[in-house]
Structure 1
Amino acid sequence: MKRPAASVQAPIRKQRSILFAKFPPGQSPQACAFLSSVDHLEVAPREQPRTIGVAYDLHDHCLEEIEDRLEDQGYHLDNTLLSKMVRALIYYVEETELHNLGAPRRPLKRSQSEAYTHAWERHPHGDHDDTPPEWREYK
């Protein structure tokens, strides 16, 4: 995932939970120990079984990167439908936030709608009447 150029930016702090599969048992303490060696990543066990908590700045890490790192090491994440949907939503939101950080702060035109108006006028669409003007005014 592409990160925006480094500059003085306010931190975007994220706190997420990572849920592991039931088998093999005992993954969460091992994963907690593994992730604690990663820079700019806070890891803590959670009260729920098979769950660890991670806290990070979005400029440094994202959940998809962290979970990919875990899967590369052989850990098995929970693959229930709800977990997959929540995970996909978080991936999308974080990717969108990173994309928006790289976007220009102000619109390129004075009015954003002005850009769409000019594009609409130049684009061939079905709202134009090809009838000659003298035939349209015929009475």
Structure 2
Amino acid sequence: MINPFETQKERELFFTDSPAGQVERALELLTGLYEFKVERGTQANSLRINYDIQHYSLEGLEHALVDEGFRFEDNALRKLGRKLIYYCEDVQYHNLKMPEWQTKTRGREIFVKVYEHHSHGDHDETPKELRDFK
């Protein structure tokens, strides 16, 4: 089962100062997206976005905005942070698409097979006909 709190992401986009008005244009553009929240960020050149990775990824959103002419801050720390987020979201998205193991139905099967292949603690080397002899 997918936990919706694990798929909800909150990120902040940092735009360059030029061209002027990028933040307002991006706010206008992103406001109409399905299951997507956008608001002004903590700094004048930023927007805070909230989305579900089942529908969006930071990499996809940023590439779409760059195609529309927007420019993001490109210092080394921001670049590294974005690349790490891209990777983590990609891995999480693909893990969500993996089928879930049916351990409850197969659990007994698994333990029976392991038990059959391992020696047991009460193993007796005495031949069977001599064990019952008294």
The two structures share one fold, judged by TM-score above 0.5: yes
Uncovered stretches (5+) of structure 1, i.e. residues with no partner: 1-7, 112-139
Aligned to 1:85: 80
Aligned to 2:3: 10
Q: Secondary structure at the match of 1:59?
A: coil
CA offset digits 1:78-137 (Å, max 9, x no partner):
111111100000000000001111223339xx59xxxxxxxxxxxxxxxxxxxxxxxxxx
Uncovered stretches (5+) of structure 2, i.e. residues with no partner: 103-109, 112-134
> Over the residues paired in the alignment, what is the CA RMSD in angstroms?
2.3
Q: Which has the larger radius of gyration?
A: 2
Counterpart Cα distance in 1 of 2:43 and 2:56: 24
Extract structure 1 runs of 4+ deviating beyond 3 A.
Answer: none
Asked whether the 8 Å contact 2:39–2:48 carries over to 1, the reply is yes
Out of 44, 63, 67, the residue aligned to residue 68 of structure 1 is 63
Counterpart Cα distance in 2 of 1:86 and 1:62: 14
TM-score normalised according to structure 1 size: 0.67
Counterpart Cα distance in 1 of 2:101 and 2:34: 34
- Structure 2 residue identity aligned to 1:35: L
- Structure with greater contact order relative to length (CA < 8 Å, sep ≥ 6): 1
Counterpart Cα distance in 1 of 2:50 and 2:40: 12
Q: Percent identity?
A: 30
Q: Secondary structure at the match of 1:86?
A: helix
Asked whether the 8 Å contact 1:44–1:53 carries over to 2, the reply is yes
Aligned length: 105
Q: Secondary structure at the match of 2:55?
A: coil
TM-score normalised according to structure 2 size: 0.70
